[in-house]
Amino acid sequence: MLTVADIMTSCPVTVGRNTPLGEIIGIMKSHACRQLPVVDDGQLIGIITDRDVRLAMNSPLTMRERAQDQALLTGVTAEACMTADPMTIESSAPATLAANLMKTYKFGALPVVDEGVLVGIVATSDILSSYIKLLGEEEEK
């Protein structure tokens, strides 16, 4: 049985509750990710996604001054726009359970928590990568 541990990204990049929006955007760009677990004293307290960031920054069609954008980037923190207490999964859970939860709830990722400690994150891209790998192994047979 393929488990979440087999497909997850271990030791994910995280942000703290007071990380400003501008820094979050930079981290997402530099690490090519769309979801970041939010931690406080090592404990998972939320998750912030690229969608959360876009909603916090408002519509690009809304006219505002550049200074207002800068104020949002420096003044809004992860805690202000994250999803608090997100659904999680254990690393020993079947990978199919993670995929089904993500499909059902339309999540792009699930934080992986074992005994209260964040140990990874499983994203849609992780599931697709494992699927591609399995298909490749089937084709080789």
Prediction pTM value: 0.88
Q: What is the pLDDT of residue 62?
A: 53
Q: Is 59 a residue whose pLDDT tops 70?
A: no
- State the Cα–Cα distance between residues 97 and 89, nearest whole angstrom: 9
Residue 48 has pLDDT above 60, yes or no: yes
Q: 4-140 domain in CATH 3.10.580.10?
A: yes
Token couple for 58: 């408002």
Structure tokens at 25: 């955007």
Question: Residue 66's pLDDT band (boundaries 50, 70, 90)?
Answer: low
Residue 56: the pLDDT is: 84
In sequence order, the β-bridge partners of residue 94 are: 3
Predicted local confidence at residue 73, as pLDDT: 81
* Per-residue pLDDT band at 64 (split at 50, 70, 90): low
DSSP secondary structure letters along 25-88: HHHHHHTT-SEEEEEETTEEEEEEEHHHHHHHH--TTS---HHHHHHHHHH-BHHHHSEES---
Q: Are 24 and 36 in contact (CB under 8 A)?
A: yes
